[in-house]
Amino acid sequence: MNRPSEHLLATADASSHYSGVSWAAIFAGAAAAAALSLILLILGLGLGFSAVSPWAGSGISAKGLGVSSIVWLALTQIIAAGLGGYIAGRLRVKWANLHGDEVYFRDTAHGFLAWAVATLVTATLVLGSASSVLGSGVRAGAQVVAGAASAATQVAGQGSAEDYGYFVDSLLRDDRPLAVSEDAARGTVSRIFVRSLSNDGQLSAADRSYLAQVVAQRTNLSQADAERRVDEVFAQTREAVAHAKQAAKEAADSAAKLAAWTSLWMFVALLCGAFFASLAATFGGRRRDAVVWIESDLQARTVAPTPVH
């Protein structure tokens, strides 16, 4: 029969030759965290879709939807990571004859590793889905490009005429606007506006004079009044284009800020998940070590000494 000191030495020697990482407990906690995270995310999507509405004045606002999404993501990380960390700490192998600080560190590491594995699995699934969507988009784009190339081959001459329509109009321009049909006149005016606005936003003297002549002969205005109307309409058009460009820039700036804030809050949510997973693993490990093994009567009778007659 071994003495107590010999038994302690044997246990310590066995503990020093085995890894301090219980991968089975880590993977179990990671699986639980990933599954619960998926369930909560699906629930959040359902609640979000039920809260929005296409009708003005009803449903949650865009700002409210963004704030609620961030809060739900943080809660999802805290709950799922906490459960995974607790399971990893509770199911890990009990370490005998270790200092309390070492046990605390190992429990924390188990919770963090469970969170890391669950995060990597979730990221892999999300990236796989995104890659599938992008691949479908690339294939669809290739088909569209092939069809466009086939169509362009058939109407190459017509496409060239449309691209250089402004220069063709300038080449054939004369002093007889009335000889031009209404549709042709509108097309010529549109091309002059597009060309002038896309370059420097200034109407050349030749274009201004021709437009005034077209307006004068179609509205019975004098040449001076027609030129004044051309200047007013062109100024209004240029202002509308400037407003459209400003709105596009503001939308792009808002999208960039939204992406930045989303990334920052996702970082905070993941950080909270790592912290709560480690904390829950520590709590689960302490509960694991506090388990008291109760010897049953059958075991007691089995190991009881046989009476000598």
Per residue in 109-133, pLDDT (tens digit) is 889 999 999 988 887 876 665 455 4
pLDDT at 6 exceeding the cut of 60: no
CA distances from 286 to 8, 83, 89, 203, 289 (A): 21, 15, 8, 80, 5
**For residue 20, which phi and psi values (nearest 5 degrees)?**
-85, 5
111, with CB counted inside 10 A (0-12, 13-18, 19+), is: buried
Q: What is the DSSP string of the chain?
A: ---HHHHHHHHHHHHHTS-S--HHHHHHHHHHHHHHHHHHHHHHHHHHHHH--SSTTSS--HHHHHHHHHHHHHHHHHHHHHHHHHHHHHHSPPPPS--HHHHHHHHHHHHHHHHHHHHHHHHHHHHHHHHHHHHHHHHHHHHHHHHHHHHHHHTHHHHHHHHTHHHHHHHH--S-GGGS-HHHHHHHHHHHHHHHHHHTS---HHHHHHHHHHHHHHHT--HHHHHHHHHHHHHHHHHHHHHHHHHHHHHHHHHHHHHHHHHHHHHHHHHHHHHHHHHHHHHHHHHHHT--PPPPHHHHHHHSPPPP-
Per residue in 146-200, pLDDT (tens digit) is 554 454 444 344 444 445 566 556 555 556 555 556 677 777 777 877 777 777 7
Is residue 77 within 8 A of residue 113, CB to CB? The reply is: no
According to the model, what pLDDT value does residue 27 have? 92
Confidence of residue 29 (pLDDT cuts 50, 70, 90): very high
Those residues whose C-beta lies under 8 Å from the C-beta of residue 272, and which sit 6 or more positions away, are 74, 77, 78, 81
d(CA 196, CA 191): 8
According to the model, what pLDDT value does residue 260 have? 85
According to the model, what pLDDT value does residue 256 have? 85
Q: Give the pLDDT mean for 7-32.
A: 69
According to the model, what pLDDT value does residue 31 have? 92
Per residue in 35-63, pLDDT (tens digit) is 898 888 888 888 888 877 777 677 777 77
Per residue in 232-262, pLDDT (tens digit) is 888 888 888 888 889 888 888 888 887 888 8
Q: What one-letter code names the amino acid at 63? A: K
Q: What is the mean pLDDT of the chain?
A: 74
According to the model, what pLDDT value does residue 237 have? 83
Report how far Cα 73 is from the mean position of its chain's Cα atoms.
12
According to the model, what pLDDT value does residue 14 have? 46
